[in-house]
Amino acid sequence: MVLEVHNLQTHLHLKRGILRAVDGISLSVGEGETLGLVGESGSGKTLTGLSLLRLLPKGSGRIAEGSIKLDGQELTTLSDSAMARDIRGRRIAMIMQDPMTSLNPVFSIGDQVSNPLRNHNIAHGATLRSKVIDVLTQVRIPSAEKRLGDYPHQFSGGQRQRIVAAMAIGCTPRLLVADEPTTALDVTIQVQIIALLRQIQADTGTGIILITHDLGVAASLCHRIAVMYAGRIVETGPVRRIYKSPAHPYTQALLAAIPRLGDKRARLQAIPGQPPSLIDPPTGCRFAPRCPARMDKCAEPPPTVTLADGHEAACWKLA
């Protein structure tokens, strides 16, 4: 396993109280595997990603418990400097939603793509230049050699996200954390970036964590899916199991609530209510207040039930 996370708890210390944004999640990513972390805003998926890189909001964010192991090495106890030197950008890289905020408008893309390579002593001098051209070609920037001196604003939205990807894969990381990498893009560009991520994985064997709210994007890119709700993983399993035979009522409701092409239902099946506050979350199952299959037992924390090889869901109904 490239990444193994066990019982991760990330808290945000706010004025209003402690927000248990990530509340005891466990997951793993294998070599050449893409894990989809799917959930709505506030489900804790983005903070899970940031926890892996230990890039939590300064002052308020804290990993309260749990372990994060990259190739067997524990990251939660690593010093900040070791984290910056050996892990961040080197062995775990990140692609964020908005390429415009990931790129610095005043530096040329040649500079920006070579920075991580230089900082992590991957390449120097002449090899550095050829390496940068290699990486940009790999993400299919046309005539990369001539464009090293160009600035971010001279590229289109899709190309900028390719450049961000180039910065991320330059150091051949073991794990790529992609947080909504296509959300800011139009569908015809989105499909190109999805293809690019797939190609990067085929070329380098990197593990990918894809953080997304879009069940379509997750289906087209992931091998396994972990569905998050209110800071917890409610269901995890191989992609086909999750979409073809979802077990948790939340996963089922989510899949029923989205309109699909070619599907002419008169009404969408809405999920009533809204997610709970994570400052004072309900005891027991957090989806229970909105759940159509709610039982009295749901007031107690639900057991994690194994349904098939690698397919687990936390629900009393399945126990």
Integer Cα distance of 39 and 15 in angstroms: 25
279 is a site residue for other proteins (CB under 8 A)? no
Q: Is the distance from CB of 21 to CB of 231 less than 8 angstroms?
A: yes
User: String of b and e for 101-120 (b: at least 16 CB within 10 Å)?
Assistant: ebbeeeebbbebbbbbbeeb
Q: Is 76 in the site for other proteins (CB under 8 A)?
A: no
Tell which one of 4, 40, 65, 86 touches other proteins (CB under 8 A): 40
| Measured distance CA(58)–CA(227) in Å, rounded | 27
Among 101, 104, 127, 156, binds other proteins (CB under 8 A): 156
**Identified binder of other proteins from the candidate list 60, 121, 245, 269, rule CB under 8 A:** 269
Query: Is residue 163 a contact point for other proteins (CB under 8 A)?
Result: no
Stretch that binds other proteins, among 49-57, 74-82, 110-118, 191-199 (CB under 8 A): 191-199
Query: Does 271 engage in binding with other proteins (CB under 8 A)?
Result: yes
CB count in 10 Å sphere of residue 71? 12
Cross-strand pairs, 88: 92
* 153 binds other proteins per the rule CB under 8 A: no
> Can residue 59 be called a binding residue for other proteins (CB under 8 A)?
no
22, 46, 51, 61 from 56: Cα distances, Å: 12, 10, 6, 5
Q: Which stretch binds other proteins (CB under 8 A): 21-29, 69-77, 209-217, 301-309?
A: 209-217
Q: Which is nearer to other proteins, 74 or 186 (CB)?
A: 186
Residues 22 and 12: their CA atoms lie apart, in Å, by: 9
Q: What are the strands of the beta sheet with 61-70, ordered from one edge?
A: 17-29, 3-14, 61-70, 73-74
**C-beta of 156: minimal distance to other proteins in Å?**
5
Among 77, 81, 143, 188, the residue binding other proteins under the rule CB under 8 A is 188
Q: Does 272 bind other proteins (CB under 8 A)?
A: yes
H, E, C per residue of 145-189: HHHCCCCHHHCCHHHHHHHHHHHHHCCCCCEEEEECCCCCCCHHH
Residue closest to 63 by CA, chosen among 17, 91, 28, 21: 21
Among 257, 279, 295, 319, binds other proteins (CB under 8 A): 257
124 binds other proteins (CB under 8 A): no
CB of 171 to other proteins, least distance (A): 27
Binding positions for other proteins, rule: CB under 8 A: 40-41, 156-159, 186-192, 194-195, 213-220, 239-240, 243-244, 253-255, 257-265, 267-272, 274-275
